Amino acid sequence: METITRFAPSPTGLLHLGGIRTALFNFLHAKSTGGKFRIRIEDTDHTRNKKESIDSILKGLEWLGLKHDDQIIYQSKKIKEHQKIINQLIENNCAYKCFHTDEEILELKKNNKKLKSKWRNKFDHPKNTPFCVRIKSPLNGQTTINDKIQGIVTVENKELDDFVIMRSDGSPTFLLSSAVDDFLMSITDIIRGDDHLTNSFRQMIIFNYLNYFPTFSHIPLIHNENNEKLSKRHNALSIEDYKNEGFLPEAMINYLLRLGWSYGDKEIISLDDAIKNFKIDKIGKSPSKLDEKKILFLNNFYIKNKNDGFILDEIKKNQAFLKIKNSEETISKIKDLINIFKERSNTLNELINYIDSINKEVFSYSKVEKKILNDSVNLKNNLLDKLSFIESWDDYILENAIKDIIKNMNLKFKDLGQPLRLVLLGTMNGPSLTKIMKVIGKEVTLKKITTNWN
């Protein structure tokens, strides 16, 4: 049987790490077995659905390289099929009409762990009275799921409630629609967060009625650095945020892979490598924890291993790049600066900021930085004199010139290096000074030293 997985987001917001990791694991499980990865947009909540959310989700998947198979399914277009199954469940005594008012339901829930509606076995229904439809959960025995990640998990049926499958306005609920859509889409493997484990037990009645028996894999959730469940409410970044901050899709894929799944002790894993080696049962049972240092390390790795032309094309797409003066004659200089700065850039935005700092003529300094410049101002004229006489503006010659000043004045490198970096870059830390000086040229170098060192 061909493996078919699905990613089924609700378009009520942007795509976050937890959701995209679920999509990734569904994609990998399908592709590693030669199967299909499908998309279903669960857009039945008209009050919260947003067109921009759907666009953001689909663009995010495309950016990461998670290509779906077949057409995208929109749940809102399947309502008639859902209602048909609801009617069949009622006819087969697997569900029933419930006429309790909201107040009555609240009172029943106070005294019963599992809601027991008096309408469960009644057939003399009142006329012209609003009702919802509830599933008939089994009263006795157990329900067991053989989960590919969690192992064998069992629940006592007395713990399961008669949940609503159709609201009083006639609209099907998530628990019904999701189960029916998985059946209609021929999904063979349901892979989702372990917060859905209870839902899976509740949906078993619907699955059994449909004679539909998918496999289950419930992925442990992602926790933040405070070991709290990651959620949109706690300012979790969306995939769009990461993209806008200058993360590469390869880094995001690699990072998400390592949040719960591993292939030996390999830290660097491409999407193609993951497809070849992915096994769903190798996902750990414990929650994964966000690690900002790890994602920055991975992004830096992929940035410094990209060619300069590729990075230039990428940063041109970034809104932050607009602040850089990038006329045709400066593009070559920018590529040279990319080559210098990409080794120490954790994000593309950071790289842009480095390049922007080179373009600045005047910097503002902290008290500490001002003191460094004031205390070393006696070096300024000596350096200007030495640099002014250099005709071949080459980094090798520039390096020797700086070494001569340091030696002749009995200095340590940082005595000259720190103030020189401050006037050229606006910061005390950075890459090779002479490489920077070569790229920006003699005129700009001398002007920056003259303007900023006082």
| 422 vs 108, more confident | 422
Q: Is the pLDDT of residue 207 over 90?
A: yes
- Give me the percent of the chain exceeding a pLDDT of 70: 97
- Give the separation between CA 372 and CA 357, rounded to whole angstroms: 19
Q: Is the pLDDT of residue 185 over 90?
A: yes
- 82 with 178: CB under 8 angstroms? no
Question: What's the whole-number average pLDDT of the chain?
Answer: 92
Phi, psi of 184 (to 5 degrees): -65, -30
- Give the separation between CA 195 and CA 192, rounded to whole angstroms: 8
pTM to 2 decimal places: 0.91
- Give the separation between CA 262 and CA 301, rounded to whole angstroms: 18
Q: Is 246 left (phi over 0), alpha (psi -120 to 50) or beta?
A: left
The answer regarding whether domain 77-219 maps to CATH 3.40.50.620 reads: yes
Instruction: Give 251-275 pLDDT, tens digit per residue.
Output: 999 999 999 998 888 899 999 999 9
- For the domain spanning 367-452, the CATH number is 1.10.10.350
- Give the separation between CA 81 and CA 140, rounded to whole angstroms: 30
Listed in sequence order, the residues at least 6 apart from 405 whose beta carbon sits closer than 8 Å to its beta carbon are: 379, 382, 383, 386, 411, 416
* Superfamily name and number for 4-71+222-289: HUPs (3.40.50.620)
Q: How confident is the model at residue 329 (pLDDT cuts 50, 70, 90)?
A: low
What pLDDT score was predicted for residue 347?
Answer: 96
DSSP label of 34: T
Distance, C-alpha 402 to centroid of its chain: 46
Q: How confident is the model at residue 232 (pLDDT cuts 50, 70, 90)?
A: low
Question: Which of 301, 326, 329, 327 has the alpha carbon at shortest distance from 315?
Answer: 326
What pLDDT score was predicted for residue 235?
Answer: 56
Token pair 């030293």 is at which residue?
A: 449
Instruction: Give 341-393 pLDDT, tens digit per residue.
Output: 999 999 999 999 999 888 888 999 999 999 999 999 999 999 999 999 998 99
What pLDDT score was predicted for residue 330?
Answer: 78
- Give the separation between CA 146 and CA 149, rounded to whole angstroms: 9
Q: Is the pLDDT of residue 106 over 90?
A: no
- Strands, E assignment, 33-141: 36-41, 73-74, 95-98, 132-135
What pLDDT score was predicted for residue 234?
Answer: 54
Instruction: Give 133-145 pLDDT, tens digit per residue.
Output: 999 999 899 999 9
Averaged pLDDT for residues 37-44: 95
What pLDDT score was predicted for residue 225?
Answer: 79
- 423 with 384: CB under 8 angstroms? no
Q: How confident is the model at residue 168 (pLDDT cuts 50, 70, 90)?
A: very high
- Give me the percent of the chain exceeding a pLDDT of 90: 76
Q: How confident is the model at residue 119 (pLDDT cuts 50, 70, 90)?
A: very high
- Give the separation between CA 405 and CA 437, rounded to whole angstroms: 16
- Give the separation between CA 29 and CA 148, rounded to whole angstroms: 12
Question: Which of 179, 171, 155, 187 has the alpha carbon at shortest distance from 26?
Answer: 187
Token pair 């900023």 is at which residue?
A: 452
What pLDDT score was predicted for residue 203?
Answer: 96
